[in-house]
Amino acid sequence: MKVYLSGEIHTDWRERIIDGSKDLDVTFSSPVTDHAASDDCGVAILGEEPNKFWHDHKGAKVNAIRTRHGLENADIVVVRFGEKYKQWNAAFDAGMAAALGKPLIVLSMPEHQHALKEIHGAALAAAEEPEQVVQILRYVLTGKLPT
């Protein structure tokens, strides 16, 4: 099963899911999680831009190639909404996954339930901890409940 891990890049949630899923037949992919590399990929590859708008524009488009590929090829999409920053990219990815008809698991904190109500409405599961995502993947693949 191919699982795309989208969203917040400042905590270890991806590693917790990947580590917890080592015994499952799952392949994970994600956006680039090196913030500086993600921001500067467009100008590093396609050339400098003196205007910050066009600098960001180039990077967003190059990153979109990876993101679209990951979302389109995923069997399941997990989107994490973190606590520290506004998660516009995560919201966009959740919307794309929903539009593509991908099974969507949202990973978020209880205090964000109201702000994410539409995204939770599109998701097939709304989890609070990465370990719950692992349990969902395990159940989907094996039919086994947590012990």
- DSSP string across 81-124: --SSS--HHHHHHHHHHHHTT--EEEE--GGGTTTTHHHHHH-S
Give the predicted TM-score (pTM) of the model: 0.95
Per residue of the chain (147 residues), what is the pLDDT tens digit? 999 999 999 899 999 999 999 999 999 999 999 999 999 999 999 999 999 999 999 999 999 999 999 999 999 999 999 987 678 899 999 999 999 999 999 999 999 999 999 999 999 999 999 999 999 999 999 999 998
Domains delineated in the chain: 2-31+74-142 (3.40.50.2300)
